[in-house]
Amino acid sequence: MWEQQFSKFDGGAASRTILPQKTIQNFFHETLIFAHQREPSQSVPPSRNRRSSTSPQLFSVFEMPRKPRRKQRPKSWPVTFSPFARALARMASVSKPNRRSKSIESSEKPTRSSTSNGSSKHTLEERPEGSESSDGEFDGVVQADFAFFDPKPNDFHGVKTLLQTYLDVEEWDLSGFADLILEQTTVGTVVKVEDDEDEGVFALATALNLWRYREQRCIMKLKEFLLLKASQEKGVGDQLRLLLGERAHNVGLLVSQRVVNLPPQLLPHLYDSLFNEVSWATEDEPTEDLRNSFQFKHYIILSKIYKHKNAEQQKRKRSDDREEEIVYVKPEDEIFHELSSWSFCFPLRTQQPAPHELKNYRSMGLIMTVEADKIPTFRQQLTSLINEG
Amino acid sequence: MATRLQFENNCDIGVFSKLTNGYCMVAIGGSESFYSVFESELGGVIPVVKTSIAGTRIVGRLCAGNKNGLLLPHTTTDQELQHLRNSLPDQVVVQRIEEKLSALGNCIACNDHVALTHTDLDRETEEIIADVLGVEVFRQTIAGNILVGSFCALSNRGGLVHPHTSIEDLDELSTLLQVPLVAGTVNRGSEVIAAGMIVNDWTSFCGSDTTATELSVIESVFKLRDSQPSVIVDEMRKSLIDSYV
């Protein structure tokens, strides 16, 4: 099954993305082959060679010509969390650049042929950037190879940074939560740049069973937080209490955080690998308890959105108004929201100054629940959303 | 005695606070629990001052000081300057300096006798540091990093520096500073020492991610295990003598 899927990705749409350095002005979308490197985890019996093979399976590779750096770490990775950057990323991902230069392209691709399984790479439009500038200076774009990894204890600081605002300004055992995610190596994916000595974490996706971890301080505080926010909303409080209490055996907390301008082409693959791992875990885990703990029936998602400040006035002037009521920071949230059984918003206590495009919007937290049998629909819709976008 | 704490889920407490032998500065806007930890440890011994610098909360990284004086960047507002002058003890000289490297906490590492500075600091600034803080100034790098204020934590009894500092560098710095130095980390492997912890002669505060090993290294190099502020020691001495009588 894995091999079949592999070849499907391989022949499918591919685009390479080059990350801009400081400002997110040019988003080059190019050939994209994902690198999926699985380390043999102890819970997988050695006979099942589903994931591990002799060489790491590369199913997406971005080129990465490294320039020698000074001791001071340059800010080549646009790790920006500001709404301004998000808005720019949204706009940039729509626009396409025009430069072409095949000669530079061919000389910078020694590693592209090194994919396993003899897969053929389909390069659609090749648009490299010409950034052979001097030491310490950057042209504005950097090429990067993204790879998916199992969570490792080393990723602690990166994961913790991504989860900093998960519960708004609440003081809770964030380090414990990060540790929990990193200990669960069977289900969970961390996106990093391949061969990056800094090992910066760019995205994280995992699903945590709320019953299995119910004794952990961080999970207890998280449940309190969710219930507190739900108590202000009519109707959903009881349903949430059920999900967090009696039915917690089959409820998974879907945690997905990333840097704001991560190329959206990675998203279908990220979610595919997450949900695949969940289904494999139901068969591969050593004990029956653990196997059952991954039989999720519901997923709870805690996310952030921007809601238009004048939501009511919006409905009246719909004819000439081109502004959306809700702007989703993460594109998959829109699909989750549509497929959700119920959802509600709550105001966030941190209000960052909004960029110009989002000045009429207020950032809000969103809690929603999606049933597990809606997930295949979600996966399809996400793929089509990203491909058309 | 080393205490672990957090500022709004952030373990980089050295960014939001500044500790010397004569006073302690804390950022405003954090929860009261952050402030109260300082009050309970230091209250009565030295003043704990809540302030902002240049309207920001990163007070630890913008200013540099010791028991003799405090240096503030040119971005400090007049009200903040006045507030600090009023709140700090009279013997502390508070001075705002015109220096283009405005994150003084990142550029200057000092105790009550000696200071290490960024290699590109102005000549005039160097003289002001020597005057106001009453220290001998050395331009140095730590493990090749010019931001000496970020990568070391210094007290009159010891110092903790960037983990990748070589033995030769450690020896050289130790000779300059005349205190024992150790290369180590704080906050579970973070190299930015000064962001993760603050220290003075009898107490220290570290981010809550700091492991027990890191904490024991800190307590041993800064000689915190059996140290107390001198006021309390004097009081104890009196009561001991009483018991003999």
pLDDT digits (tens, 9 = 90+) for A43-52: 434 444 344 4
Residues B192, B150 contacting (CB under 8 angstroms): yes
Chain B residues within 8 A of A164 when measuring between CB atoms: 9-10
Average pLDDT, chain B: 91
Q: Which residues contact A64 (CB under 8 A, 6 or more apart)?
A: A111, A143, A144, A145, A193, A194, A195
pLDDT digits (tens, 9 = 90+) for A133-148: 344 555 677 777 889 9
What is the model's pTM? 0.72
pLDDT digits (tens, 9 = 90+) for B125-139: 999 999 999 999 999
CA pair distance B137, B127, nearest whole angstrom? 8
More confident residue, B98 or A2: B98
- Give, as one character, the DSSP assignment of residue B212: H
Residues A361, A346 contacting (CB under 8 angstroms): no
More confident residue, A188 or A65: A188
Residue A83 is predicted with a pLDDT of: 53
Q: Which residues contact A317 (CB under 8 A, 6 or more apart)?
A: none
DSSP H helical ranges for A303-365: 311-316, 331-339
CA pair distance A26, A33, nearest whole angstrom? 20
Average pLDDT of the residues in B43-63: 95
pLDDT tier, A387 (very low <50, low <70, confident <90, very high otherwise) = confident
pLDDT tier, A89 (very low <50, low <70, confident <90, very high otherwise) = low
Q: Is A29 helix (H, G, I), strand (E, B) or coil?
A: strand
CA pair distance A307, A342, nearest whole angstrom? 17
Structure tokens of A328? 């989703």
Average pLDDT of the residues in A291-320: 77
More confident residue, B43 or A322: B43
Average pLDDT of the residues in A52-62: 40
Q: What is chain B's alpha carbon radius of gyration, rounded to the nearest angstrom?
A: 17
pLDDT tier, B203 (very low <50, low <70, confident <90, very high otherwise) = very high
**How many residues comprise chain B?**
245
Average pLDDT, chain A: 70
Residue A91 is predicted with a pLDDT of: 56
CB-based contact A171 B6, cutoff 8 Å: yes
Residue A88 is predicted with a pLDDT of: 59
pLDDT digits (tens, 9 = 90+) for A211-263: 999 899 999 999 999 998 888 877 788 888 888 887 888 899 999 999 988 88
Per-domain residue ranges of chain B = 2-243
Mutate which of A154, A155, A157, A169 to test chain B, going by most B C-beta atoms within 10 A? A157
Cα of A267 to nearest chain B Cα, Å = 28
CA pair distance A35, A18, nearest whole angstrom? 16
CB-based contact A72 B188, cutoff 8 Å: no
Average pLDDT of the residues in A201-209: 94
Residue B227 is predicted with a pLDDT of: 65
pLDDT digits (tens, 9 = 90+) for A343-385: 989 988 876 666 777 778 888 999 999 999 999 999 999 999 9
Of A156, A157, A169, the CB nearest to B8: A169
Give the highest mean pLDDT range of A39-53, A103-117, B16-30. B16-30
Residue A233 is predicted with a pLDDT of: 79
DSSP β-bridge partners for residue B64: B71
Sign of CA dihedral A65, B192, A164, A356: negative
Burial B73-102, CB ≥16 within 10 A → b, else e: beebeeebbebbeebbeeebbbbbbebebb
Chain B residues within 8 A of A71 when measuring between CB atoms: 144-145
CA pair distance A34, A55, nearest whole angstrom? 14
Residues 119-178 of A with CB under 8 A from B: 156-157, 164, 169-172, 174-175
CATH fold group of domain B2-243: L-arginine/glycine Amidinotransferase; Chain A (3.75.10)
Residues B135, B66 contacting (CB under 8 angstroms): yes
CA pair distance B73, A217, nearest whole angstrom? 41
Quickly count: other Cβ atoms within 10 Å of residue B185's Cβ. 20
Chain B residues within 8 A of A72 when measuring between CB atoms: 145-146
Structure tokens of B65? 């000081």
CA pair distance B235, B214, nearest whole angstrom? 32
